[in-house]
Amino acid sequence: MSFIAIIPARLASSRLPDKPLADLEGKPMVVRTAERALASGAREVVVATDHADIVVACEAFGIPVCLTRADHPSGTDRIAEVAARMELPADAVIVNVQGDEPLIDPDLIAATAALINAATPMATAAHPLHEAPDVFNPNVVKVVLDKMQRALYFSRATIPWHRDAFAQQRDQLPAGYRPLRHIGLYAYRNDFLQMYPQLPVSPLEQIEALEQLRVLWHGYPIAVHVTATAPAPGVDTPEDLLRVRRIFQQMR
């Protein structure tokens, strides 16, 4: 499967200022993420950013980078701009790799890209949950699938709800019950990616604050690659950054 990885990287961050430029053993986080994307077999990796400082940082390490408009409401809009400027064909496969995932598994990127075909314009990933606190945590987004491994629904709620078991207790999961946690990695056909930002916002998306529900609301399928294990942690907070820095130190 031939695909391109585009990495949206916005300089501003409310919880961790200048996050894409955070140092990880001598390289900025966004560069570390790009290196993981390159290891996935992507035929091209491009960083899409709103700030000249990120352009300079990427160019210093030979990472292709594109300066985009600053007013994009989401990373999806940002990568759509870059894909359009690259004049990619309609059937090109594009993977959105978040710029704060410097430990992302390259195989996960490739497996998600491989799900895209003429009938499947969008794909993502998930993994089983094993601990009750995660299953009941609204900050852990869950997804349920149909028999074709396509998403039926994404939610912050506990889905599917195990009626009988949860009526008895909720401090441990019943045998055989393994809900899926959604992993925020997306692949698209380019023609769908260009159309996606134009789709009207859906009520479900507003209620759950989950942008991917817009796709299901408008009737488009999302294929889901299920991986057996949870991915390595991303970086959202200063505490996350310290944890990831320790991991990189151990990888010397």
Domain that holds residue 97: 1-104
- Confirm whether 97 is domain-assigned: yes
Q: Could you tell me the CATH number of the domain that includes residue 196?
A: 3.90.550.10
40 burial (CB, 10 Å; 0-12 / 13-18 / 19+) is buried
Q: Is the pLDDT assigned to residue 251 strictly greater than 90?
A: no
- The DSSP bridge partners found for residue 155 are 142
Instruction: Tell me how many domains the chain contains.
Output: 2
Give pLDDT tens digits for 233-246: 899 899 999 999 99
Where a domain ends, among 104, 127, 160?
104
Where a domain ends, among 104, 131, 155?
104
Give pLDDT tens digits for 12-71: 877 788 999 999 999 999 999 999 999 999 999 999 999 999 999 999 999 999 999 988
Closest CA to 142 of 127, 120, 123, 162: 127
Give pLDDT tens digits for 79-127: 999 999 999 999 999 999 999 999 999 999 999 999 999 999 999 999 9
- Confirm whether 132 is domain-assigned: yes
Give pLDDT tens digits for 166-202: 999 999 999 999 999 999 999 999 999 999 999 999 9
227, 123: one domain: yes
32, 92: one domain: yes
Closest CA to 11 of 68, 61, 65, 53: 53
pTM for the whole thing?
Answer: 0.94
Instruction: Return the pLDDT at 36.
Output: 97
- Confirm whether 58 is domain-assigned: yes
Please state the rounded mean pLDDT for residues 131-157.
97
Contacts 24+ apart (CB under 8 A), 172-178: 172/132, 173/129, 173/130, 173/131, 173/132, 173/135, 178/128, 178/129, 178/130
100, 125: one domain: no
Q: Quick one: DSSP state of residue 174?
A: P
Q: Which residues of 125-162 are buried (b: 16+ CB within 10 A; e: fewer)?
A: bbbebeebebbeeeebbbbebeeeebbebbbeebbeeb
d(CA 161, CA 75): 31
Q: How many residues does the chain have?
A: 252
Please state the rounded mean pLDDT for residues 119-136.
97
